[in-house]
Amino acid sequence: MVQTVTPAGLAELLSTQVIDLVDVRDPDEWQAGHIAGARLVPLERLRADPDAALAREVATVFLCAKGVRSLQAAKLADRFGYQRVYHLEGGVKAWARSGQALVAAARLAA
């Protein structure tokens, strides 16, 4: 079953347990700003091989910009039998609006 978590709920989860934060956005979106500790697994890659991209032993919270792609990813994980599956309501944008910090990836000089 997919559970929805608010930004405040995610902050609480992060402070109390080990969570696998999976950001399903595109690399350019990721570089612009992501939640600390999240890892990038674009939705297309996740769809291609969920078992290669996900860990079964910890809770997984899926993230995207607004919550649409993360809900798709969470439903996919649920269909593949993953337990403790969440998606962030409102996505990374809601996280930032709630006052939580984002990390911007450093761009390499050409």
What is the DSSP secondary-structure string of 16-81?
HS-EEEEE-S-HHHHHH-B-TT-EE--HHHHHH-HHHH--SSSEEEEE-SSSHHHHHHHHHHHHTT
Share of the chain above pLDDT 70, in %: 95
Quick check: is 6 in a domain? Answer: yes
Quick check: is 110 in a domain? Answer: no
Is the pLDDT at 40 greater than 60? The verdict is yes
Quick check: is 102 in a domain? Answer: no
- Is the CB of residue 22 less than 8 Å from the CB of residue 39? yes
Quick check: is 90 in a domain? Answer: yes
CATH code of residue 74: 3.40.250.10
Band (47; pLDDT cuts 50, 70, 90): very high
For residue 88, the surrounding DSSP H or E stretch is strand 85-88
Is the pLDDT at 105 greater than 90? The verdict is no
Quote the domain boundaries for residue 27: 2-97
User: Into how many domains does the chain fold?
Assistant: 1
Give the C-alpha separation, 88 to 84, whole Å: 13
Quick check: is 104 in a domain? Answer: no
pTM over 0.85: yes
Is the pLDDT at 27 greater than 90? The verdict is yes
Quick check: is 103 in a domain? Answer: no
Band (104; pLDDT cuts 50, 70, 90): confident
Band (107; pLDDT cuts 50, 70, 90): low
The total of other beta-carbon atoms located within 10 Å of residue 44's CB is 9
pLDDT in tens, 52-88: 999 999 999 999 999 999 999 999 999 999 999 999 9
Is the pLDDT at 101 greater than 60? The verdict is yes
Quick check: is 20 in a domain? Answer: yes
